[in-house]
Structure 1
Amino acid sequence: MAVSYSFVAFFNSISSSYSSSFSKPSLGSLKPHYGLRVDSKNSSRRLVLSCSSSHMDSNSDTMDIGQTQVSSTAPFGLTMSEANMSRSSCKWQRVLLKVSGEALAGDRAQNIDPKVTMSIAREVAAVTRLGIEVAIVVGGGNIFRGSSWAGSSGLDRSSADYIGMLATVMNAIFLQATMESIGIPTRVQTAFRMSEVAEPYIRRRAVRHLEKGRVVIFAAGTGNPFFTTDTAAALRCAEINAEVVLKATNVDGVFDDDPRTNPNARLLDTLTYQEVTSKDLSVMDMTAITLCQENNIPVVVFNLSNPGNISRAIKGERVGTLIGGTRNSMAART
């Protein structure tokens, strides 16, 4: 293939110019310039990008194109060593946070309370800055609950559930916007295609996002009617190899009785999967609990409205109720 003579002449002039500049340096006589030079010791292996000034010293900045430069700074301003030390202090390294739609409503003055979403965003930021990978599944009960509307005006259960899935997408987009407003890179993935507003759920892509430090919000449940977002949380947790489901609700945990009717109801610290199913405790639906049991996924049920509960739950401190796991002996009830 013919090579333009002008290009060859230009390259030869560049090479000769930089060769002479670096072979006979004169201190104090070199003018500031930026350019490429070939390492005279091993020109076939190393290409050096050099920024030189009128006073050359041994600490001039160079970048070896053949080597990978690794940043020593972690996200949110921590050094890598600080992030690794903080990460090792946490009980779980990849978690799935399940946020119910009712929790997003806050005081129920409106469907979504911006104060609640901002509180969630700040809590998630506090743990992602430590290197913890966080995925989120959102419910839609604050906008539309399919099981409650089924049968109304001829609305069948499947159609009602699909409307409920759309409600979770609305919550996910709102939560994504809140998180990105404070600098948290976030992706929304939906169980059925809505390519104009979110990515389709692809397991490998979701895992890659997490590995890059992004928060992934899973919306539209499982994409199938007759399944709750609790089941979607258990399913996504198993698929992305998360270590725990953190179920954030508007109650402090699981009680032995309804605390709204029984003031003496006792908050349970730990439960087994069998106790949840045999006592028919209204923690998660049976499909979700069974899926967690089969995959050895612990579940932590806690109150979202208490500040700091998300980070405390991730660190393994005694918050809420732990299902299917053991408490850290060093943790203290807060």
Structure 2
Amino acid sequence: MAVAEAPESVAAPQRVDLVVAKVGKPPAVVKHGSSFGLGAVVSNRGRDAAQPSVLRLYLSKDRTRGAGDILGASVAVKRVPARKTKTVSQRVKVPWGARGTYWVIACADATKKVRETKESNNCKSSSSQLKVDSDLHAQLSGRLQFVDEGQVVDAGKTETWHRTAQADVTIAVDGDPEGTTTFAGSGSSWVRDGSRTVRDVSESCIRTRNYQENGSGKLRYVGDGADDEIFGNFTRTDMSGVRIGLIMRADWSETRDQVGQGEFPCDPSTATSQGTTIDVSSIELKEVGLTTNTITYEVVGWEGAYGTTSPWDSVDGQLVLRLR
């Protein structure tokens, strides 16, 4: 009588189970745009060693990991033997846009690289909250460059112009971006230079106009909108947009010459005039870079006074907001 062979026993796979056993206590108050150190303990409750993984630390409005949480740090976790722990620490970044109070949530194997017996127990919240002090004490600085140039030729008349300006911006920014913020522009300066030539030729006359402008100096700031030559504000409460206003003056002079030609020449003449021109520019900048304590903005648009079309063909430059 044939006897069936008993099947070989198959051992259950030795799997790992990573959890966060402990999260350090965050400071009670931190400044936005700063960072703080925090430790965490990763435990392997499984029967097999856990290969290297990544732990992430999040700022969360509640104690559950969710889509709206802010990633503050990532830290590499070395191999964790079965039934053992690893202690790690990292600096947690608090972004500029952070507001209010947060829990710190630590999540083991945040990149899901380790195969575990249970994936839903990887995160743990801190036992206390931290408050983000959003009051701002920073400096906005950088250089803005303006260009206006061109040529028009029409029926014997040629007009050519080239104007440039440069503004070196230094603004102390203080207050709460969600409330009242002061942009104090003391220390900012400007330089303007330009020329325009018009040559109009007819059968009896050659008329030319030569225009020159130049100016430089400090952009006046006294804290009064009626007298200030530099002003600014955030266009978004998360500080990702900013608008700067500048009033740049220049003295100008113009010489007008008339020379007769042809069978019936016009009378020759020369006249000069001079005065002061005022350029008002409103420049919009958008965030293009962000670090723990800086925001970099780049020009994305500009206009003239009261929303009119700007005379400048291009406005370029970057401003950087740094914590003081």
| Both structures adopt the same fold (TM-score exceeding 0.5) | no
TM-score by length of 2: 0.22
Q: Which has the higher strand share?
A: 2
Pick the structure with greater CA Rg: 2
TM-score by length of 1: 0.22
